[in-house]
Chains A and B, each alone.
Chain A
Amino acid sequence: MSEIISVVGVSKKFDKVAVLKNISFQLRKGELLALLGENGAGKTTLISMILGLLKPDQGSITILEHRPGSFQAKHRIGVMLQSASLPDKLTVIEQLRLFSAYYTHPLELEEVIASAKIGTFLEQPIGVLSGGQKQRLLFALALLGNPDALILDEPTVGLDAESRRVFWQCINDLKSQGKSIILTTHYLDEAEALADQVVLLHRGSVVLNDTTSSIKAQIKYREVQFVSEHTLDALITAIGEQSIQQQGKTFSVQTLVPETLITNLVKHKVPFNDLVVKPISLEDAVDRVSKLTLGVAV
C-alpha cells in the first residue's frame, strides 16, 4: 500500500461556520506533500484532525489504516507543531531522553542527534537556544519514534536564511530515507525546494492538488528578464507590455510568448543585455492557477 495518510471527504464546522469543505488528498510513501494556504485557510484545523485532536464532522482520515489519535497511529507519525515551546529550564539532552522514553522502539539518540544536527548544544538549557536550534530540537523530538510519516507544521517560520537552509537539508535527508512528510508552510520557495505534491487550501477548500512539476508545467508562462538603460515608460511604449516589473535596471515580464517579446525588443531597437528566459516560480504559478480556479485574487 503506497498511501501513508489518506484524507477522504473531510468537512468541519465551528459554530455553524464551515472551516473545511470536502477535503481529500493522499500522502504517498516517500513523498513530501506541501500544504499551502494563507492564515485562516484551514491548515491548522486539518493538521489537528490528522493528529486526532479534532474529529471531522464528515469524511474520514486514516494513518496507515489506523484511526488518528490511536496508540498505533501515534507510534507511526512524528509531529512538529507550530510554535510549540519546550521548558526553558531543561537541557536539550534531558528533553530528548524524556520524549525518547515515550516510544516502545525509539531510534538511538545518537542517530536522532545527527539527523537533526543538534550535537553541538546538547547540554545547554533550552531557554538559551536560538530560534533555529529550538526548531531543530522540536524536529529531533519528531524523529525519536522512528516514524513512517512526519507532520511538520510551519517548521521554518521566523528562521533566518541560514537556519532555513540547514533545516531544508534535514528534511531532504529524511526524504532520501523514504519517510513521508506533510509540511505546512507560508513560503512557496520552501514548497518548491522540497515538495513532490502541493495542496493549496483557500477558505476551507482544496483549490489545487497536484505535483509540483505539473503545476509548473500547467503554467505555460515564462519569465523574461533583462537589463536595459531604457525607462519603464519607454519600454511599455516600445513593446506594448503592461505587466513589466522593474528592479533598478533589471526588468522582468511574464509572458506566454517569450519569442514575440524578444522580437519586439529587437524591432524597437531597445538596448538590452543579460537576457534570461525561465519558467515562472512556483509562487507565481500557484498564484495564476488559483486565480484561474477561483476567478478571484487569492
Chain B
Amino acid sequence: MSQLTHRMKIVYLETKTENLKTWRTLGFVLPSLSFPLMFYLFFGVIFAGMNGENDAEKVSGYLLATYAVFGVIGPALFSFGADMATEKDKGLLTLKQVSPMPVIIYFIAKALTAMGFASIITLAMFLIAALLGGVSLSAGQWIGTWLVLIVGTIPFCAMGICLGLKAKAQAAGALVNVIYLPMAFLSGLWLPIQMMPAVIQDFAGFMPAYHLSQLVLKIQAFDVGQSLWLHVMALLCFTLLFTALALKWFNCND
C-alpha cells in the first residue's frame, strides 16, 4: 500500500469513528440540530409570516442565511472546543500523538465531521425555508449558500482548536457558549445587523461570524454592501491567526 493510500485510509477511518462518536452523543446532537432549526422556524418562518404582509418570504430568506450561519458554527466550535478539551485532558490526544498517525489527520477528521454536521443542519433548514417559508432561490443560489456555509466552518474549526487547547475539559463547554452566543448576537445572526446600534455595527467587523453571514447574505443580495473580498480576506485572516495560535499552543502542550 502506498503511503498516500494508507493515509487516505486513516482519514477515512478516523472520520468514520469521529462520526460514530458524535452521533451517539445525543446530548450534543439534539441541541445542535434542534436549536438553530427551531429558532429559524419561529423567527424566520412563523414570526415573519405574522408581521410582514408582502415581504415575509424576504425575511425568511434573510434569516435563512443568518440562522444557517448560527447553525453551522456551533458544531465546529463545540466539536473542537469542548470535545478536544476533553480528549486532551483525558490523554487520548497524547495517545494519538505518540502513535504513528500524522496528528493533522485528527484535525482533518474533526473538521470533516463538523462539516458533515453543518451540511445536515443546512439542508434541513433549506427544507423548512422552501416548504414553509416560501423562500424560492435559484439552483445556483441554493448550492452557493450551502457551499459557502460548509467552507465557512473552517475558521470556526480553527477557533475551536484554540479554545480546546487552552480550556480545561469541565470549563470548555461553558467557555464555548460564552463566545458563541454573544458572537452570534453581535454579528447580526439573530437580528439583522442593520437593526443594531451603530456601535455594534462598527464592532461587528471584528467578528468572523459577521463576515461569514455577509458572504452568505450576498448570494441573495441582502448584505450591507461591503466588498466580497473584504469578507473573504477577513475570514482568511481569522483562519491564519487561529491556526498560528493553535500551532503555537499545540507545541507548548507537548
Residues of A that sit less than 8 Å from B by CB: 51-54, 69, 71, 74-75, 79, 81-87, 89-90, 94-95, 97-99, 101-104, 141, 145
Contacts and interface: CB of A to CB of B under 8 A. Distances in A.
Task: Categorize the interface residue count of chain B.
Answer: 20 to 34
Contacts of A94: 17, 20
B21 A87 contact: yes
B254 A53 contact: yes
A226 B94 CA distance: 50
B91 A84 contact: yes
Interface string B135-153: 0000000000000000000
Contacts of B91: 81-85
A52 B13 contact: no
B95 interface: yes
Contacts of A89: 20-21, 24-25
7 contacts: A74-B98, A74-B99, A81-B95, A90-B20, A94-B17, A103-B100, A104-B6
B1 interface: yes
Contact of B98 (A53, A87, A97, A104): A53
A125 B245 CA distance: 35
A71 B100 contact: yes
Given A74-B100, A95-B17, 10 more contacts: A53-B94, A53-B97, A75-B100, A82-B91, A85-B90, A87-B92, A89-B21, A90-B20, A98-B17, A145-B99
A84 B95 contact: yes
B78 to A, nearest CB: 15
B175 interface: no
B92 A85 contact: yes
Nearest to A101: B13
Nearest to A125: B24
Contact of A102 (B10, B87, B94, B254): B10
Contacts of A81: 91, 94-95, 98
Contacts, number: 63
Interface string B83-123: 00001001110110111110000000000000000000000
A84 B6 CA distance: 26
B27 to A, nearest CB: 11
B98 A52 contact: yes
A101 B20 contact: no
Contacts of A53: 94, 97-98, 254
Contacts of B92: 84-87
Interface string B53-97: 000000000000000000000000000000000010011101101
Contacts of A74: 98-100
Nearest to A83: B91
Contacts of A75: 100
Contact of A84 (B10, B17, B94): B94
B248 interface: no
Contacts of B21: 87, 89-90
B20 A99 contact: no
Interface string B19-38: 01100110000000000000
Contacts of B9: 101
A97 B100 contact: no
Contacts of B25: 89
A79 B100 contact: no
A-B CB proximity, top 6 nearest:
A84-B91, A89-B24, A74-B100, A102-B101, A85-B90, A51-B98
A53 to B, nearest CB: 5
B12 to A, nearest CB: 9
Nearest to B26: A89
Contacts of B100: 71, 74-75, 102-104, 145
Nearest to A55: B254
A19 to B, nearest CB: 16
Nearest to A52: B98
A148 to B, nearest CB: 14
B95 A97 contact: no
A75 B6 CA distance: 14
Contacts of A97: 13
A101 B13 CA distance: 8
Among B9, B14, B97, residue most surrounded by chain A Cβ atoms (within 10 Å): B97
A84 B87 CA distance: 9
B98 A141 contact: no
A224 B100 CA distance: 52
Nearest to A51: B98
A206 to B, nearest CB: 24
A84 B88 CA distance: 10
A69 B254 CA distance: 11
